[in-house]
Amino acid sequence: MMMKYMQHSALLIFLFSALLGSENKKLAQTGFQFLSVTADARGGGMGDALTTIHTGSASLFFNPAGLSRQRELIDINFSSNNWIADIQHEALSLSFSPRNGEYGVFGFTFHNVDYGELQGTMVWDNERGFIDTEVFKPTAMAVGVGYGRALSENFSVGGQVKKAYQYLGRSVVPISDTSQVVQKNTADALAFDFGTIYRTDWHGFTFGMSVRNFSDESQYAYDGFQLPLTFRIGGSVDLLSFTPLDGSSHSVLMAVDALHPRSYPERVNMGFEYSFRKLFKARMGYLYNYDERGLTFGCGAKIGPLMIDYAHTPFGIFDAVSRISIGISR
């Protein structure tokens, strides 16, 4: 048994070591990039390393298999993410676990993006080469339904199907030398997420995988594009399980994810979470092989059935990103 766990650990170490040699350059163009942005504050504070961690309804934004261990009847989580360039991400997740998960856990997600107001332009024969048109507000949203189930005491699976939509303003399209039409610039796509989580008996070490944004090619105007498909494999463990300290009052969770995104070379996310009596939590993470991001920080407090989380991410030449999440489980 120990040999099997050592083999699993060696495999993860090999994968992470291979990732460290990759350069950060873009490999392909993808659309609907908002689907790859983390709105949840717990994930933001832990460097987005939540592939193997059960987080209630918010698991649908990382690995739908994380739904499976919910024993509360209802879990609701709302997150707000003040992203770069004043882009506002808001996410809502809800999960329902009838009969303590006997029939699995059902979930729903909603993700909305507000890009603010932009000035439209059109090519024109003047000194500037263009003229201003209307001021417009591009938006994006996604709605999903998911399901997670524990197939045994150790093994869980889950999946989600979601519909994504974007509105990018209007365009004036000439149809002849003397006439033109105005058309809306919209795009939509159907995408799937699925994943697994396995918890071993060796110090509770957990490993898992997920695939997010699996979809056919989508169409925008006359061009086709792919969604930001991402493969993840990760592991997590409570570091205090290796010590004689009492784990009922304290825990130090370490999680590491290896990512293979369609748009970039491989990346590594690492996160730590210290918990005191499950009432207060302090978090720190690191994002490897990203353009502007590195360290992340966060904290959380539980007040009765209410959980409040905050995350802060320095973003290089941009303003720092702040996330806040409010969740309730009953």
Specify the pairing of strand 267-276 against strand 280-288: antiparallel
Sign, Cα dihedral of 259, 155, 109, 218: positive
Residue ranges of E strands in 204-266: 206-214, 218-220, 223-225, 230-238, 250-261
Kindly state the percentage of the chain with pLDDT values over 90: 63
pLDDT at 180: 67
Residue 113's DSSP bridge partners are: 89, 140
Query: How far is 80 from 77, CA to CA, in rounded Å?
Result: 10
Q: Alpha carbon 278 to chain centroid distance?
A: 23
pLDDT at 14: 42
Does residue 20 surpass a pLDDT of 60?
no
Query: How far is 40 from 42, CA to CA, in rounded Å?
Result: 6
Under 8 Å CB-to-CB from 173, ≥6 apart: which residues?
Answer: 180, 181, 182, 183
3-state secondary structure of 201: coil
Give the pTM: 0.86
Domain range 2-329, CATH architecture: Beta Barrel (2.40)
pLDDT at 221: 64
pLDDT digits (tens, 9 = 90+) for 104-149: 999 999 999 999 888 877 777 788 888 787 788 889 999 999 999 9
Select from 67, 83, 30, 92 the least CA-distant residue to 327: 92
For 69, list phi and psi in degrees, rounded to 5.
-95, 10
The CA–CA distances, whole Å, from 288 to 36, 268, 310 equal 16, 5, 21
Q: Alpha carbon 229 to chain centroid distance?
A: 12
Section 208-231 average pLDDT = 87
Two tokens, residue 148: 């997670």
Sign, Cα dihedral of 54, 60, 65, 67: positive
Scored b (16 or more CB within 10 A) or e, 224-257 reads eebbbbbebbbbbbbebeeeeeeeeeebbbebbb
Q: Are 79 and 39 within 8 A, CB to CB?
A: yes
Query: How far is 276 from 240, CA to CA, in rounded Å?
Result: 12
Torsion of CA 324, 298, 44, 248, to 10 degrees: -110
Does residue 102 surpass a pLDDT of 60?
yes
pLDDT at 217: 82
| Residue ranges covered by each domain of the chain | 2-329
pLDDT digits (tens, 9 = 90+) for 291-317: 889 999 999 999 999 999 999 999 988
Query: How far is 257 from 230, CA to CA, in rounded Å?
Result: 12
pLDDT at 6: 41
Does residue 78 surpass a pLDDT of 50?
yes
Sign, Cα dihedral of 213, 215, 217, 221: negative
Two tokens, residue 320: 């720092």
Select from 215, 209, 206 the least CA-distant residue to 195: 209
Q: What is the mean pLDDT of the chain?
A: 87
pLDDT at 248: 79
Q: Which has more pLDDT, 67 or 179? A: 67
Residue type, 216: D
pLDDT tier, 24 (very low <50, low <70, confident <90, very high otherwise): low
Does residue 247 surpass a pLDDT of 90?
no
